[in-house]
Structure 1
Amino acid sequence: MTSTAPVTSGTLAVPDGTLYYEVRGSGPLIALVGAPMDSGPFTPLADLLASDYTVLSSDPRGHGKSVLNNTDEDSTPELRADDLARILTHIGKGPAIVLGSSGGAITGLALAIARPDLVSTLIAHEPPLRELLDNRVELRAQTQEVIDVYNTGDALGAIRKFFAMTGLFMPEEVLQQMFGGERDPHAVESDDFFYRHELHTTSGWEPSLDALRATPTTILIGIGDESADKFCDHTSRALGRELDIEPTLFPGGHGGFMEQPDAFAKRLREVLES
C-alpha cells in the first residue's frame, strides 16, 4: 500500500555546509541512503514504506539540495556517515534501520562502525567495495580511466566507461538524453563532484573488517537478483565471505528499488520481519 502521508523537508547545518532531508510516514525509523544518488529516486519506495515506517531520505553532500561551502573537499564514507549521524540525531527517532544503496551502502557500513548506537539494522545493498576483489589493481586503473575521460569534458564517454566497468546498463538513447548535449547545470555540478571527489574515495574505501565483525549493528548484505556476475555482485559476495554473511536477494538489479519499488518494498518487509 502506498502512503499518502505528507512529506516534511528540512535542512541541517553542518560544519562545512547544509544537508537536505525528507521525512514521511510514522512508525519505526528507516533511512534510505544513496551516494551519489540523491533522495529523489527513493521517492516511490519511500511512499510505499511510509504506510508503516517513518522514512528518512536525504541528499548526500555535494548532490541535490545539500550544499557544501568547499566543493574541492573529497566526500569520504566517514564524512557521509557523520552527516547521516547528524541528521538521525537531529530527527531524534532512532536508532534507525538503514537501507544503503551502492555508495550509500558504504556510507551505512561506515556508520555501523562509527555510530552503531544510531543504526539497529543495516541492509547494505550492493556496496561497490573494489578493494575486496582480487582484480583490484586493474579496477583502480579502470576507475582512473573513467575519471580521465570525464576530465576531458566527455561526460557521455565517461559514463559509458563506468557502465562497462560495473556491468550496468542504460539504453543508448537514455544515455544521450541524460549526458549528451546541453545539460542542467546542477547535474553537471553533481557529476563534477562525483568524478573528482567521490568515485575513488568510495569504491576505494577499505573498511575495518574487524570493526564490522564487532559492531552490534545487525548487518545484512543485499544483492539484486538480476545482478549476477556483475561488479557489485562480486563485491557484495566478497564482503559476505569476509563477514560470514550469506547475501540476501532483492528484486531487480543494482537499482531494483527504482525498477520494481512494489516488489522491493514487499521483499524488504519480509526481510525485516523474519
Structure 2
Amino acid sequence: MTETVTRTLESDGATLAYDVRAADAGVAGGVRPTPLFLIGSPMDASGFGTLASHFTDRTVLTYDPRGAGRSIRTDGASENLPQEHAEDLRRVIEAAGTGPVDVFASSGGAVNALALIARHPDLVRTLVAHEPPAAQVLPDREAVLEVCADIHATYLRAGTGPAMAKFIAAASRKGPFPADWQDEPAPEPAAFGLPTEDDGTRGDPLLGQNMRGCTSYRPEFEALRAAETRIVVAVGKESEGQFPARAAVGVAEQLGTELTLFPGDHGGFLGGEYGQHGEPEAFAQALRGVLEQA
C-alpha cells in the first residue's frame, strides 16, 4: 500500500487529524473505484489498519474524531454531539479533495455518518452503517438512555474502572433493558480486569465525551429517505440481541431497507487492534461486495 499521508485541518472547536492512503498504481482499465472513508467513534483511525489493508485498490481515508487520538478539542467542551462530528466529516472529505466517497462507519461513527448524510448527502455515494447505537429507535429507549446516562455519571463520579465495567455489561447484554435495571447489582471492575482505583482523569472519548450525545441522537429519517445516498444498515451475525444490533434493526426499519448481515460481532473488522480479533478478511469481502453493488 502507498505510504499513508497524515494531515490536519481546523474545524469549529477542534483540530482534526486525518490520513490518506492513496490507491495502488495500475488499476485495471484505468478507472479507480470511489474513495473509501472508514469512520469510527469514539474509535480513532488506529482501529482501521487491518480493514484498510484489504482495499489497496481504493484511496482510503481515516481520521480521529474530535477529542480522540490525535484530534484535539480547542473549545474546552467536555461532550460531543453527532451534529458536530458530521461537520467535521464534511470538512475532512472536502479537504481530502477526492470528491464523493463511499463510507464504512461503525458504532458511533455510523451515527455520525447518518447525521452527515442528513445534511450533506452529495458527499457520500454509499454508506454502510454498521451497528449504530441509536437508542431512540428502540422500544426500551428510555431504559437504554438511562443506562447510558448512568455510565457517564459513574465515570464522572468514580472513574474509568466502574464506568467501563457497566459499559461492558450493557454492551454485551442480550435483549431489552427492563425498567427496573437500576435494581441490578453493579458489575465489579476486577471481574473484567479493569482498574479499581480512580486515576482522576476524565477525558475518555467513550465514557466522558460521546456516551450521551451519540446514543440519544435520533437520525433525521425524512432527510435520509430523501437523500440520493445509498444507505446500507449492517449488523454482525454474532451481535444478535445486543443494544447496537437491535438499534441497527430499528434504523433499517425506519429507512424501509433490508438489514445486511456481516461476519463477526460489533468489532468484526478488527485484526488485532486493541487486542481484539474479528473476522477481517471475511468482513472485508462482505464490505467489498456491498460497495460493488452500487
Q: TM-score, normalised by structure 1?
A: 0.89
The one-letter amino acid paired with 2:5 is T
Map Cα deviations across residues 176-212 of structure 1 (whole Å, 9 max, x no partner): 2xx4278999xx5641x43333211100001221111
Is structure 2 residue 269 aligned with structure 1 residue 257? yes
Between stretches 150-159 and 240-249, larger displacement belongs to: 150-159
User: Cα distance, 1:71 vs. partner?
Assistant: 3.3
Is structure 2 residue 127 aligned with structure 1 residue 122? yes
In the other structure, the counterpart of 1:180 is 195
Map Cα deviations across residues 45-68 of structure 1 (whole Å, 9 max, x no partner): 11221x211100000000000011
Is structure 2 residue 163 aligned with structure 1 residue 158? yes
In the other structure, the counterpart of 1:143 is 148
Paired positions, count? 263
CA distance in 1, matches of 2:49, 2:77: 29
The one-letter amino acid paired with 1:141 is E
Q: Structure 2 unaligned runs (5+)?
A: 24-31, 175-188, 271-277
Between stretches 69-78 and 260-269, larger displacement belongs to: 69-78
Is structure 2 residue 71 aligned with structure 1 residue 59? no
Q: Are the counterparts in 2 of residues 76 and 198 from structure 1 also a CA contact under 8 Å?
A: yes
CA distance in 2, matches of 1:9, 1:261: 24
User: Cα distance, 1:148 vs. partner?
Assistant: 2.1
Give the direction of change, closer, same or farther, for the CA distance of 1:165–1:76 in structure 2 (3 Å limit).
Answer: same
2:84 pairs with 66, 79, 94, which one?
79
User: Cα distance, 1:152 vs. partner?
Assistant: 2.3
Q: Structure 1 unaligned runs (5+)?
A: none
In the other structure, the counterpart of 2:9 is 12
Is structure 2 residue 39 aligned with structure 1 residue 42? no
CA distance in 2, matches of 1:211, 1:168: 32
Is structure 2 residue 276 aligned with structure 1 residue 270? no
Is structure 2 residue 95 aligned with structure 1 residue 90? yes
In the other structure, the counterpart of 1:245 is 257
- Secondary structure of 1:221 counterpart: strand
Between stretches 215-224 and 145-154, larger displacement belongs to: 145-154
The structure whose residues are more often helix, as a share, is 1
Give the direction of change, closer, same or farther, for the CA distance of 1:128–1:154 in structure 2 (3 Å limit).
Answer: same
- Secondary structure of 2:62 counterpart: strand
In the other structure, the counterpart of 1:224 is 236
State the identity %: 36
Give the direction of change, closer, same or farther, for the CA distance of 1:222–1:184 in structure 2 (3 Å limit).
Answer: farther
1:195 pairs with 197, 203, 207, which one?
207
CA distance in 2, matches of 1:128, 1:108: 12
CA distance in 2, matches of 1:195, 1:23: 28
CA RMSD of aligned residues (A): 2.2
User: Cα distance, 1:173 vs. partner?
Assistant: 8.2
Q: TM-score, normalised by structure 2?
A: 0.84
- Secondary structure of 2:2 counterpart: coil
Between stretches 82-91 and 194-203, larger displacement belongs to: 194-203
- Secondary structure of 2:244 counterpart: helix
User: Cα distance, 1:117 vs. partner?
Assistant: 0.9
